Amino acid sequence: MTTSSPIEQAGGATATYVDKRLGSNKFLSRNLAKVFPDHWSFMLGEIALYSFIVVLLTGVFLTLFFKPSMLEVVYDGSYVPLQGVKMSEAYASSLDISFDVRGGLLLRQMHHWGALIFVAAMAVHMFRVFFTGAFRKPREFNWLIGVGLTVLALGAGFSGYSLPDDLLSGTGLQIARGIMQATPVIGTWMAFLLFGGEFPGTSFIPMLYSVHILLIPGLILALVTVHLMLVWVQKHTQFPGPGRTNDNVVGYPLMPVYMAKAGGFFFVVFGIIALIGGLVTINPIWVFGPFTPDQVSAGSQPDWYIGFLDGALRIMPNWETVIFGWTISWNIMIPAMIMPGILFTAIALYPFIESWVTGDKREHNLLDRPRNAPTRTGIGVMSIVFYCLLWVGGANDIIAVAFDLSINAITWFLRVAIFVLPPIAFVVTKRACLGLQRRDREKLLHGFESGRVLRLPHGEFIEVHQPLSPKDLAVITSKTDIVPLPAPERTDADGVRNKLYRIQALRHRLSTFFYGDNVPKPSAAEIEAGQHHAAHDAAIEAPLHDYEDADQIHTFHGGVLHHPGMEETNAQQIADRSHD
Amino acid sequence: MTDLSPHQPPAPPGSIPHADVEHRLRVTDTDPKTAKRAERQVASMFLLSVLFTILFVVSYIGIDKTATIYIPVMGEVGALQIALGFTLGAAIFLIGAGAIQWAKKLMPDVEVVQQRHDQVSPEADTLDAAGQYERGKEESGFARYRMIRRTLIAAMALFPIPLVIMLRDLWVPTPDEVGKSPADILSTTLWHDGLRIVSDGTYRPVRPEDLPVGGLISGVPADLLEVEEIQGNLNARGKAAIILIRMDPADIRSQQGDGWDYQGILAFSKICTHVGCPIALYEQRTHHLLCPCHQSTFDLADSGEVVFGPAARRMPQLPIGVDEEGFIVARSDFAEPIGPSFWERG
Amino acid sequence: MKFLAARRRSPIVASALLIGALAVVGLGYAAVGSVQPAQAAVGTETQVEAGRQLYLEGCSSCHGLEAQGTGNAPTLVGVGAAAVSFQVGTGRMPLAAPGAQAPGNMPTYTDEEVAALAAYIATLAPGPAIPSAEQLDYADADIALGGELFRINCAQCHQAAGQGGALTQGKYAPNLMESTPQHIYEAMLTGPQSMPVFSDAQLTVEDKQAIIAYVRTLQTEASPGGLTLGKFGPVTEGVFLATAAFGALIAAAVWIGIKAR
């Protein structure tokens, strides 16, 4: 054995051994220092990832004890009020996990809480990505994968909710069967094949089990892997700030800071889920009793993420038509199939719709402030209001009891509100965003109002305007003014009819709807003048305080005015758009 | 802007350019005592984690699984569950908290910068890829061999059929079901003329005098317990479950059939016509029946018609009478399919 | 006692004393309550007369001088002593204010007065009597059977854990967590307000005892999984998730994002 080269020594024995087989050092050299921007809202996706891992780990444990069988047994475990009761093996083994496997209840509760957190974290992560415009080019594919993951997570959650075969989960399946049966043409056959005949049958829980522990988690794992690889390859977006441009990424290196923070956060999320799973009851299956199709409990609800579907079913009017002897159940199809279909399709296609409407085809690595995209922000808030109203519908009986209201009144309120409140939310949000834009413009033109009033030697009163801090200036000037697409001509200069007129006119209208109201950012010269004026104010006041501060303000404001985003002119943008 | 970092990294290998951002020194950067304290803080978190893991094992062995403990706010709770949950949670949480504290206090907090590049490939690569593709297409002859192309498409289109066909036997009809479509099966229940109604749970037959005005009984067919299904009798139960109610005959405004009641006793299906939840929320004053799942409300004094909610169809009524021994019996099966609507229902 | 005397002013001790006093009163009440039915079932003449007086003063303005009912309230002829004991004993009657339904409340009448009223109403026409002590003795009842009967007959309105649920137009099935065995029995027997009647022929005394035993289990059993969140099911779990659970996770994320000083 010859002595190793200095390079090999530097690499270390193990790394060298692996590198000679995999060429891994090239990867390490490129990626150990990979920079990740730091912001609390970038952790939301991590919460989803980590809670998924917790759910996988606890789920593996549960499979060791759970029996996915609908065969009837007589319970003889240690929970007295159910001893001697006939039930399915699935429910009996869930009770055993809860009462006779030490730590079993803890892991079952961690699994369930973890699943709720998983879906919630995905939803909130999606809000963050939506409102900051992080889905824009080049990240549209990752948005699509995210939407796919959300749908899979709903499936994972519902299939898990249905497995213990207690009265609550069975009621959920009974409703699912009813919805399935309402599908035109193939409904009854679909229900009979999936349930192996009549409801409840004996085959659905075993089938659901393999979907829940194999199919869906496998797909989620595959998609999560691609999702993370794309984040890695495309690098994370960042919020605007000093030194941050569309072409760089500012943050902390993977090794060691990000590794410690992200790795540490995994344990924090894991620990919080364990604490909640240990201290807070979720789904006390023993109080619901075994499932039979002729019993029900008041207040039967799905877990939160299915609540919007249940709410839609509740507030839907009872429309059904019979045509040529065929029954079409609008009262089920609209809330349970058509509405969620449209909702998720719209979510999936949103990045493409927005880019088509606005004609914006540039790469975006610097995040939007929600106020700078008022229409998008309005659409987002509108959708959330819509979703939350359905959610209220899903809990209307609990709300009625808790607040002494009538379920009929709540249902009627929602039947109206679902059409009225979301548009109001849109208008209010858009107005609020435009108001914030105007305030930003004021800040750029006059600095921020310090609230201090000075009397000048000649008797004039002024309010001191301070120049913005470098951070504020960078953040506010990160706004890029986008001009709505121009109105098309019906005929061109030679009098030839414009065949694309209608579609172009539509785009013009939508684009105006998107950007027409935006408050234009002041020009670089105006900003300089404004900040200079503010600095002047501060300088007037300076003698009363100290000179050093005033000096500092001057130097900062010189440095920041050359923010890269600011040089972009509207003409250049339009050129970019026509180019793509 | 000047970089104020105290640790100016050495030469090229392993270095990253610092971002053009103002950087403030932390107390731990300037005060060795504070840095030492932070170090001890992190180490003690890891040490506590070790302690909690040990406590977990001790709890697992030492606490009986049926033991309970009173905890303020929570009330009487399972002692083992609380002990395991708290120790496990604390042990894991502290590892994370320690690591994060380590990163925040002791690892460098200078922001660094990397350049991004557009995702688009260099032109040469694009041209080469296009060339490769064209060459491959040409060499395969996909465009030339029309017969191969078409037969391949046909083969590819057909080969999934076996996979779909094999799903058919997810439902293997029972001997009773052979030759019937799902819609046929959904349209019949166990009920027939002369079959006694028994009270669910106690399986006692019911006499009219057992049921006072304002009364409610969840009923099932008398022969339900003889039904042998692999999971008990849940399929039959899910279709045959009924409720028996009694109201002042003067309150009955209409029925689904003439004289389907017996002295004010009415029998209705228990399965909601919306999506199939069992319903027995019967308000004896209003004669309304409310579904707890989606709040469809049926007026049982008025043929079970829908008065509120998403259900489109009335609740099917079961005609009843009394047999020679004086017990309540069904007089036929339901006249219409019970439960949720389906395509073939009409 | 010196210890207590020295610290009587401290709020903790004060509340402890208060709780102790309440417990004594409550136990006494429970003891009296369980003796009550035997007396009420008999109904001496003086008791009936006292009940009539109470009726005329407190009830007749709505239910009519002969308890025949008026436009405002139903007849009480034939409702039986059990109905009076339930309605007045749970404070539902006299009605505090008109509403979708009469809510349970602090009883207005003492146990003796309730017994007298019940005895008087029982003389008007035969009706369900107040259950006897033997009827209420659920010590040997079959809890598992009680659970099944509860899920078949009660859970659809009162919820599987007895937490209550919504009915139509603002009416509701009340929470059962504070209900006494006697009141549970009487409610089944008489079907107060929206609730259907479950006669002794349909649910026998043993069945009712089993149901009471199960409800008592629901009231008293320890929570194996920790904090119960009210046992309302997924809605309160969702609220906890959105507030406390997610609050903790976001707080951790923000903590990571904040620069150390």
Read off the pLDDT of residues A531-568 as tens digits, 9 standing for 90 and up. 777 777 666 655 444 434 434 433 333 333 333 333 34
- What percentage of residues in chain B have a pLDDT greater than 70? 96
Cα A252 from Cα B297, distance rounded (Å): 60
Provide mean pLDDT across the span B103-125. 91
Of A540-549, C17-26, C52-61, the least confident? A540-549
Quick one: C93 and C135 in the same domain? no
Q: What is the CA radius of gyration of chain A?
A: 30
Residue C43: pLDDT band (50, 70, 90) is low
Sheet containing strand B305-308, strands side by side: B281-283, B288-290, B297-299, B305-308
Comparison of pLDDT for A485 and B83, the residue scoring more:
B83
Asked whether the beta carbons of A339 and A317 are under 8 A apart, the reply is: no
Give the sign of the dihedral formed by CA C230, CA C236, CA C242, CA C243. negative
Chain B residue with minimal CA distance to C150? B201
CB atoms within 10 A of CB C5: 8
Nearest to A305 by CA among A112, A49, A120, A178: A120
Asked whether the beta carbons of B261 and B249 are under 8 A apart, the reply is: yes
Report pLDDT for A533.
74
Report pLDDT for A233.
92
Task: Judge whether residue A469 has pLDDT over 90.
Answer: no
Residue B102: pLDDT band (50, 70, 90) is very high
Nearest to B55 by CA among B78, B85, B75: B85
B297-299 and B305-308: which strand pairing? antiparallel
Report pLDDT for A450.
75
Comparison of pLDDT for A37 and A450, the residue scoring more:
A37
Please indicate, yes or no, if residue C248 is contained in any of the structural domains.
no
C168/A276 Cβ within 8 A: no
Q: Which among C148, C169, C248 has the least Cβ separation from residue A85?
A: C148
Quick one: C123 and C172 in the same domain? no
Quick one: C212 and C149 in the same domain? yes
Cα A260 from Cα A265, distance rounded (Å): 8
C112 Cβ neighbours under 8 A, 6+ residues apart: none
Cα A241 from Cα B22, distance rounded (Å): 11
Please indicate, yes or no, if residue C261 is contained in any of the structural domains.
no
Inform me whether the C-beta atom of residue C236 falls under 8 Å from chain A C-beta atoms.
yes
Task: Judge whether residue A266 has pLDDT over 50.
Answer: yes
Last residue of a domain, one of C94, C129, C164: C129
Task: Judge whether residue B50 has pLDDT over 80.
Answer: yes
Report pLDDT for C182.
93
Quick one: C197 and C215 in the same domain? yes
Collect all residues of chain C within an 8 Å Cβ-Cβ radius of residue B81. 224-226
Comparison of pLDDT for B21 and A329, the residue scoring more:
A329
- What percentage of residues in chain C have a pLDDT greater than 70? 84
Quick one: C103 and C49 in the same domain? yes
Q: Which among B212, B280, B297 has the least Cβ separation from residue C156?
A: B280
Contact partners for chain A, using 3 or more CB pairs closer than 8 A, are: B, C
Asked whether the beta carbons of A7 and A229 are under 8 A apart, the reply is: no
Residue C23: pLDDT band (50, 70, 90) is low
Q: Where are the alpha helices (DSSP H) in A324-466?
A: 330-333, 339-358, 374-394, 396-402, 407-446
Cα A447 from Cα A531, distance rounded (Å): 6
Q: Which among C148, C224, C225 has the least Cβ separation from residue B201?
A: C148
Task: Judge whether residue B315 has pLDDT over 60.
Answer: yes
Task: Judge whether residue C71 has pLDDT over 90.
Answer: no
Residue C27: pLDDT band (50, 70, 90) is very low
Q: Which among A85, A117, A395 has the least Cβ separation from residue C235?
A: A395
B175-220: pLDDT as tens digits: 888 999 999 999 999 999 999 999 999 999 999 999 999 999 999 9
Residue C164 sits in a domain whose CATH number is 1.10.760.10
Residue C17: pLDDT band (50, 70, 90) is low
Inform me whether the C-beta atom of residue A286 falls under 8 Å from chain B C-beta atoms.
no
Chain B residue with minimal CA distance to A86? B232
Q: CA dist A51 to A62, A197, A214, A304, A312, Å?
A: 16, 36, 18, 16, 28
Residue B16: φ, ψ to 5°: -130, 140
Inform me whether the C-beta atom of residue A241 falls under 8 Å from chain B C-beta atoms.
yes
Contact partners for chain C, using 3 or more CB pairs closer than 8 A, are: A, B
Beta-carbon-side half-sphere exposure of residue B289 (alpha carbons within 13 Å): 32
Mutate to test the interface with C, among A85, A117, A287 (most CBs of C within 10 A): A287
What integer best gives the mean pLDDT of chain C? 83
Q: Which among A175, A185, A200 has the least Cβ separation from residue B343?
A: A185
Provide mean pLDDT across the span B247-269. 94
Please indicate, yes or no, if residue C53 is contained in any of the structural domains.
yes
Quick one: C158 and C205 in the same domain? yes
Residue C60: pLDDT band (50, 70, 90) is confident
Nearest to B298 by CA among A278, B312, B285: B312
C144/A272 Cβ within 8 A: no
Burial class of residue C77 (count of CB atoms within 10 Å of its CB; 0-12, 13-18, 19+): middle
Window 514-543 of A: residues touching C by CB (8 A cutoff) are none
Window 89-108 of B: residues touching C by CB (8 A cutoff) are 100, 104-105
Provide mean pLDDT across the span A390-401. 93
CB atoms within 10 A of CB A29: 11
Amino acid at B69: I
Chain C residue with minimal CA distance to A108? C225
Inform me whether the C-beta atom of residue B312 falls under 8 Å from chain A C-beta atoms.
yes
| Range B40-68 burial, b when 16+ CB lie within 10 A, else e | eebeebeebbeebbebbeebbeebebeeb
B259-280: pLDDT as tens digits: 999 999 999 999 999 999 999 8
Task: Judge whether residue C36 has pLDDT over 70.
Answer: no
Contact partners for chain B, using 3 or more CB pairs closer than 8 A, are: A, C
A148-176: pLDDT as tens digits: 999 999 999 999 999 999 999 999 999 99
Q: What is the dihedral of CA B34, B35, B41, B43, to 10 degrees?
A: -160
Burial class of residue B250 (count of CB atoms within 10 Å of its CB; 0-12, 13-18, 19+): exposed
Provide mean pLDDT across the span A232-240. 94
Cα C173 from Cα A298, distance rounded (Å): 9
B200/C202 Cβ within 8 A: no
Last residue of a domain, one of C71, C95, C129: C129
| Range A443-455 burial, b when 16+ CB lie within 10 A, else e | bbbbbbeeeeeee
Quick one: C124 and C154 in the same domain? no
Asked whether the beta carbons of A35 and B112 are under 8 A apart, the reply is: yes
B109/A257 Cβ within 8 A: yes
Residue C137: pLDDT band (50, 70, 90) is very high
Of A96-100, A121-125, A310-314, C70-74, the least confident? C70-74
Nearest to B300 by CA among B340, B328, B260: B260
Collect all residues of chain C within an 8 Å Cβ-Cβ radius of residue B297. 168
Collect all residues of chain C within an 8 Å Cβ-Cβ radius of residue A265. 252-253, 256
Beta-carbon-side half-sphere exposure of residue B174 (alpha carbons within 13 Å): 14
Report pLDDT for B231.
66
As a whole number of Å, the end-to-end CA separation of chain C is 53
Please indicate, yes or no, if residue C139 is contained in any of the structural domains.
yes
Quick one: C81 and C99 in the same domain? yes
Cα B69 from Cα B66, distance rounded (Å): 10
Which domains are delineated in chain B?
A: 1-114 (no CATH), 125-163 (no CATH), 185-345 (2.102.10.10)
Provide mean pLDDT across the span B301-324. 95
A185/B100 Cβ within 8 A: no
Comparison of pLDDT for C97 and B84, the residue scoring more:
B84
Report pLDDT for A515.
86
Residue B240: pLDDT band (50, 70, 90) is very high
Q: Which among A105, A249, A269 has the least Cβ separation from residue B81?
A: A105
Quick one: C48 and C107 in the same domain? yes
Beta-carbon-side half-sphere exposure of residue B112 (alpha carbons within 13 Å): 20
B293/A175 Cβ within 8 A: yes
C148/A303 Cβ within 8 A: no
Report pLDDT for C16.
54
Inform me whether the C-beta atom of residue C96 falls under 8 Å from chain B C-beta atoms.
no
Nearest to C228 by CA among A279, B66, B79, A395: A279
Inform me whether the C-beta atom of residue C38 falls under 8 Å from chain A C-beta atoms.
no
Collect all residues of chain A within an 8 Å Cβ-Cβ radius of residue C241. 113, 116-117, 120, 304
Please indicate, yes or no, if residue C26 is contained in any of the structural domains.
no
C140-167: pLDDT as tens digits: 999 999 999 999 999 999 999 999 999 9
Inform me whether the C-beta atom of residue A78 falls under 8 Å from chain C C-beta atoms.
no
Cα A309 from Cα A393, distance rounded (Å): 9
Chain C residue with minimal CA distance to A115? C241
Window 265-294 of B: residues touching A by CB (8 A cutoff) are 270-271, 274-281, 292-294
Inform me whether the C-beta atom of residue B23 falls under 8 Å from chain C C-beta atoms.
no
Report pLDDT for A538.
64
Instruction: Give, for C89, the enclosing helix (H) or strand (E).
Output: helix C80-89
Task: Judge whether residue A13 has pLDDT over 90.
Answer: no
Q: Which among A38, A184, A407 has the least Cβ separation from residue B295?
A: A407
Amino acid at A530: G
Collect all residues of chain A within an 8 Å Cβ-Cβ radius of residue C234. 283, 301-304, 307
What integer best gives the mean pLDDT of chain B? 91
Structural domain range at position C84 = 42-129
* Tokens standing for residue A142: 């990752």
Please indicate, yes or no, if residue C29 is contained in any of the structural domains.
no
Collect all residues of chain C within an 8 Å Cβ-Cβ radius of residue A45. none
Inform me whether the C-beta atom of residue C2 falls under 8 Å from chain B C-beta atoms.
no
Task: Judge whether residue C37 has pLDDT over 70.
Answer: no
What's chain B look like in SS3? CCCCCCCCCCCCCCCCCECCCCCCCCHHHHCHHHHHHHHHHHHHHHHHHHHHHHHHHHHHHHCCCCCEEEECCCEEEEHHHHHHHHHHHHHHHHHHHHHHHHHHHCCCCCCEEEECCCCCCCHHHHHHHHHHHHHHHHHHCCCCCHHHHHHHHHHHHHCHHHHHHHHHHHCCCCCCCCCCCHHHHHCCCCCCCCCEEEECCCCCECCHHHCCCCEEEEEEECCHHHCCECCECHHHHHHHCEEEEECCHHHCCECCCCCCCECCEEEEECECCCCCCECCEEECCCCEEECCCCCCEEECCECCEEEECCCCCCCCEECEEECCCCCEEECCCCCCCCCCCCHHHC
Asked whether the beta carbons of A401 and C164 are under 8 A apart, the reply is: yes
A333-375: pLDDT as tens digits: 999 999 999 999 999 999 999 999 988 888 999 999 999 999 9
Burial class of residue C250 (count of CB atoms within 10 Å of its CB; 0-12, 13-18, 19+): middle
Quick one: C145 and C218 in the same domain? yes
Report pLDDT for A276.
97
A86-88 and A72-74: which strand pairing? antiparallel
Of A314-323, B13-22, B28-37, the least confident? B13-22
Quick one: C141 and C218 in the same domain? yes
Asked whether the beta carbons of A132 and A381 are under 8 A apart, the reply is: no
Q: Which among B20, B275, B344 has the least Cβ separation from residue A175?
A: B275
Quick one: C139 and C123 in the same domain? no
Task: Judge whether residue A478 has pLDDT over 90.
Answer: no
Domain count, chain C: 2
* Tokens standing for residue A113: 């809480």
Q: What is the dihedral of CA A376, A377, A379, A382, to 10 degrees?
A: 180
Please indicate, yes or no, if residue C31 is contained in any of the structural domains.
no
Collect all residues of chain A within an 8 Å Cβ-Cβ radius of residue B235. 197-201
Please indicate, yes or no, if residue C228 is contained in any of the structural domains.
no
Report pLDDT for A7.
74
Provide mean pLDDT across the span C14-39. 47
Collect all residues of chain C within an 8 Å Cβ-Cβ radius of residue A284. 161, 223-225, 228, 231
Residue A202: strand pairing partners: none
Report pLDDT for A541.
57
